[in-house]
Structure 1
Amino acid sequence: MKKLLFLCLLTSIFVNSQNNIDLSYYLPQDISYNENIPTPESIINHQVGEWHVTHDKLVQYMYALANATDRITIEDRGKTFEGRPLLLLTITSKNNHQNIDAIREQHVDATNNNVNDDAESMPIVVYQGFSIHGNEASGSNAALLAAYYLAAAKGDYINDLLDNTVILFDPSYNPDGLQRFAYWANTNKSINLNPDPNDREYREVWPGGRTNHYWFDMNRDWLPVQLPESRARIKTFHSWLPNILTDHHEMGTNATFFFQPGIPSRTHPLTPKLNQKLTKSIGEFHAKALNKIGSLYYTEESYDDFYYGKGSTFPDINGSIGILFEQASSRGHIQESENGIITFPFTIRNQFTTALSTLDAAKNMRKEILNYQHNFYKNARSEASKEANKVLIFGDEKDAAKTYHLAEILKRQQIKFYDIKQDLNLGGKHFKKGYSFAVPKNQKNIRLINAMFEKRTTFQDSLFYDISAWSFPLAFNVDFVENASSSNLGSEVTDLKPKQGSVAKKSDYAYLMEWHEYYSPKILNSILNKGIRTKVALKQFSMNGKDYDYGTIMIPIQNQKLNATDLYNTLKDLAAESHVQVDAVSTGLTEGIDLGSRNFKTLIKPEIALLVGDGITSYDAGEIWHLLDTRFNMHVTKLDTKSIGRADLSRYNTIIIPNTRYLDKTNTEKLKDWAKNGGTIIGYRNTVKWLNDKEFIKLKFKKTDVPAKNISFEERSDFRGAQQIGGAIFEATLDRSHPINFGYKNDKIALFRNTTIFVEADSVSYRNPIQYTKNPLLSGYISKPNLEALSNTVPLQIKNIGRGKVVAFTDNTNFRAFWYGTNKLLMNAIFFRDEL
Structure 2
Amino acid sequence: MLPEPLTDGPTANSDEGRPLTYYLPDLEYDPNIPTPEEFLGWQIGDWHISHDLQQAYMRALAASSDRITLEVIGHTYEQRPLLNLIYTTPENHGRLEELREMHVNWSSPNGGMSDGDLADVPGVLYQGYSIHGNEASGGNAAVMAAYYLAAAPMSEVGELLTNNIIVFDPCYNPDGFNRFASWANTHKNKNMTADGQDREYSEAYPRGRSNHYWFDLNRDWLPVQHPESQARIAQFHRWKPNILTDHHEMGTDATFFFMPGESTRVHPMTAPVNQELTARIGEYHSAALDRIGSLYYSGEGYDDFYYGKGSTYPDIFGTVGILFEQASSRGHLQESENGILTFPFTIRNQVTTALSTYEALENLHDDLLSYQREFNLEGVTSDGYVIDADGDPGRSRELADILARHGLPVQHGTSEEGEAYYVPKTPFSEAAFEPILEFEDSLFYDVSTFSLPMAFNLPYRQVSGGTPTDMRWTSYQMGEATAPFDRSRAEYAYFIPSNDYYSVRAIYELQDAGVRVKVSDQSFSINDGATEFGRGTAMVPVYGQEMSAEELHRIVTEVEDETGIDILTTNSGTVDAGGLMLGSRSAYQTLRKPEIALLIEGSTSSLDAGETWHLLDQRFGIPITKLPIDEVGSSDLSRYNTIIMPDGYYNRLDESVATALKEWMGRDKVFITVERAGTWAAKNGLANLTERKTSDPDSAITQRPYEKAERDRGGQVLGGSIYRTVADLTHPLLFGMKREEIPVFRSGTLLYEPAENIYATPVRYADEPLISGYSPRGFAQKAAGSAAVIVSGSRGGRTISFASNPNFRGFWYGTNRLFMNAIMFGTTINGSTVE
TM-score range, shorter chain: over 0.9
Equivalences for 1:5-20 in 2 at 5 Å? 14=11, 18-20=15-17
> Shift of residue 676 of structure 1?
4.4
Does 2:603 align with 1:604?
no
CA distance in 1, matches of 2:13, 2:79: 38
Q: Deviations over 1:417-443 (max 9, x none)?
A: 2233634xxxxxxx51xx3112233xx
Structure 1 position 501, deviation (Å): 7.0
Residue 89 to residue 176, structure 1, CA distance change in 2 (3 Å):
same
State how far apart, in whole Å, the 2-side matches of 1:78 and 1:417 are: 23
State the alpha-carbon separation in 1 of the partners of residues 410 and 587 from structure 2: 42
For residues 126 and 19 of structure 1, what CA distance do their matches in structure 2 show? 34
The Cα shift of 1:784 comes to 2.9
Tell me the secondary structure at the aligned position of residue 71 of structure 2.
strand
Shift of 1:500: 4.6
Instruction: Give the SS at the match of 2:412.
Output: strand
Q: Which amino acid aligns with 1:689?
A: T
**Aligned twin of 1:589:** 574
Is 1:625 the counterpart of 2:646? The answer is: no
CA positional deviation for 1:255: 0.5
Is the CA contact (8 Å cut-off) linking 1:320 and 1:373 kept in structure 2?
Answer: yes
- The aligned counterpart of 2:679 is 689
Which residue number in structure 2 is paired with residue 705 of structure 1?
695
Shift of 1:677: 6.3
Give deviations 1:556-592, integer Å, cap 9, x for gaps. 1111101112111211111121111211112222231
| Matches of 2:512 and 2:282, distance apart in 1 | 58
Structure 2: gaps spanning 5 or more residues: 1-7, 830-835
Report how far residue 492 of structure 1 moved: 4.1
Q: Do 2:262 and 2:301's aligned partners in 1 also have CA atoms closer than 8 Å?
A: yes
Equivalent position of 2:47 in the other structure: 51
Give the equivalent residue in structure 2 for 1:575: 560
User: Where do residues 260-409 of structure 1 align in structure 2 (5 Å cutoff)?
Assistant: 260-381=259-380, 384=381, 388=382, 390-409=383-402
Contact 2:715-2:776 at 8 Å conserved across structures: yes
Match of 2:688, as an amino acid? Answer: K
Report deviation, 1:494. Answer: 4.6
Question: Partner amino acid for 1:321?
Answer: V
Task: Report the counterpart of residue 63 of structure 1 in structure 2.
Answer: 59
Q: Distance in 1 between matches of 2:519 and 2:397?
A: 26
SS at structure 2 position matched to 1:781? coil
Q: Work out whether residues 475 and 821 of structure 1, in 8 Å CA contact, stay in contact via their aligned partners in 2.
A: yes
How far off is 1:120 after superposition?
2.2
Q: How far apart are 1:12 and its partner, in Å?
A: 13
Structure 1, residues 393-452: CA drift from partner, whole Å, max 9, x if none? 1132421111111111111111112233634xxxxxxx51xx3112233xxxx1011011
Q: Which residue of 2 aligns with 1:470?
A: 450
Counterpart among 515, 520, 524 of residue 541 in structure 1: 524
Q: Is the 8 A contact 2:764 2:787 kept in 1?
A: yes
Is structure 2 residue 488 aligned with structure 1 residue 488?
A: no
Q: CA deviation at 1:215?
A: 0.5
2:16 counterpart letter in structure 1: N
1:543 aligned partner, one-letter code: I
- Could you say what secondary structure the match of 2:613 adopts? helix
Separation (CA, whole Å) in 1 of partners of 2:203 and 2:14: 26
Cα drift, residue 17 of structure 1? 6.4
**Residue 22 (structure 2) pairs with residue 25 (structure 1):** yes
Residue-by-residue CA offset, 1:675-711 (whole Å, 9 max, x unaligned): 1465321011111111122222232222222436463
Would you say the 8 A contact 2:261–2:300 is kept in 1?
A: yes
Q: Give the distance between the partners of 1:224 and 1:800, measured in 2 at CA.
A: 34
Higher mean C-alpha displacement, 589-598 vs 676-685: 676-685
- Paired letter, 1:242: P
Percent of counterpart pairs with the same letter? 45
Map of 1:638 onto structure 2: 626
Deviations 1:754-811 (A, max 9, x none): 1211111123332221111100111111123111110111111110211212111111
Match of 1:300, SS state, is coil
How far apart are the structure 1 equivalents of 2:533 and 2:823? 22
Residue 744 (structure 2) aligned to one of 727, 751, 769: 751
Could you tell me which residue of structure 2 aligns to residue 91 of structure 1?
87
Match of 2:207 in 1: 208
C-alpha spacing 1:372/1:533, structure 2 compared with 1 (3 Å): same
Cα pair 1:124 1:243 within 8 Å, conserved? yes
C-alpha distance in 2 between matches for 1:689 and 1:827 = 21
Secondary structure of 2:346's partner? Answer: helix
Conserved? CA contact 1:723–1:786, under 8 Å: no
- Is residue 628–residue 636 contact of structure 1 (8 Å, CA) maintained in 2? yes
Report the equivalent of 1:5: none
**In structure 2, C-alpha distance between the alignment counterparts of 1:447 and 1:472, rounded to whole Å:** 14
Residue identity matched to 1:173: Y
Q: Deviations over 1:705-743 (max 9, x none)?
A: 243646322221221221221111111111111101111
Deviations 1:360-402, CA, capped at 9 Å, x for gaps: 1111111111111111112112xx1xxx2x3311132421111
Query: Helix, strand or coil: the match of 1:707?
Result: coil
Code of the residue aligned with 2:422 in structure 1: it is A
Shift of 1:532: 1.4
The yes-or-no answer on 1:107 pairing with 2:103 is: yes
The 8 Å contact of residues 85 and 169 in structure 2, kept in 1 or not, is answered as yes
Please give the alpha-carbon distance, in whole angstroms, between the structure 1 residues aligned to 2:525 and 2:605. Answer: 44
Q: Assess if the C-alpha contact under 8 Å between 1:757 and 1:810 holds in 2.
A: yes
Change in Cα spacing, 1:779 to 1:22, as seen in structure 2 (3 Å) is same
1:559 is matched with which residue?
Answer: 544
Residue 645 (structure 1) shift: 2.6
Answer yes or no: is 1:418 the counterpart of 2:403.
Answer: no
Write the mapping of 1:807-818 to structure 2, written as runs, cut at 5 A. 807-818=800-811
The answer to whether the 8 Å contact 2:266/2:305 transfers is yes
In structure 1, what residue type is equivalent to 2:133?
A: G
Number of the residue aligned with 2:777: 784
CA distance in 1, matches of 2:644, 2:9: 49
Mapped contact 1:130–1:248 kept (Cα < 8 A) = yes
1:157-185 residue CA offsets vs partner (Å, 9 max, x unmatched) = 31122112211000000000000000000
Using the alignment, how far apart are the partners of 1:46 and 1:600 within structure 2? 68
Distance between the aligned counterparts of 1:14 and 1:784, measured in 2? 47
Consecutive unaligned residues of structure 1, counting only runs of 5 or more, are: 1-10, 424-430
Q: 1:69 and 1:298 mapped to 2: Cα distance?
A: 36
The code of the aligned residue for 2:512 comes to N
TM-score by length of 1: 0.94
Measured against aligned partners, the alpha-carbon deviations of 1:796-828 in whole angstroms (never above 9, x if no partner) come to 111021121211111111111111111111111
The question of 1:516 aligning with 2:509 is answered no
Gap change, CA 1:14 and 1:606, over 3 Å in 2: same
Q: Does the residue aligned with 1:766 lie in a helix, a strand or coil?
A: coil
Structure 1 residues 712 and 106: CA distance shift in structure 2, 3 A: same
- Alpha-carbon contact 1:706-1:785 (below 8 Å) kept: no
Find out whether 1:529 has 2:525 as its counterpart. no
Q: Which residue of 2 aligns with 1:650?
A: 638
CA distance in 2, matches of 1:81, 1:71: 30
Deviation, structure 1 residue 16: 5.8
Structure 2 residue matching 1:784: 3-state secondary structure: coil
Could you tell me how far apart the structure 1 residues matched to 2:464 and 2:117 are? 38
Check the 8 A contact 2:14/2:45 in 1, yes or no.
Answer: no
**Count of aligned positions:** 806
In structure 2, the partner of 1:219 is 218
Contact 2:729-2:737 within 8 A present in 1 as well: yes
| Equivalence map 1:161-240=2 (5 Å) | 161-240=160-239
Of the candidates 62, 68, 72, which is equivalent to residue 76 of structure 1? 72
Deviations 1:289-314 (A, max 9, x none): 00111100111111100000100000
Query: Counterparts of 1:120-135 in structure 2 under 5 Å?
Result: 120-135=119-134
| Distance in 2 between residues matched to 1:477 and 1:455, nearest whole Å | 13
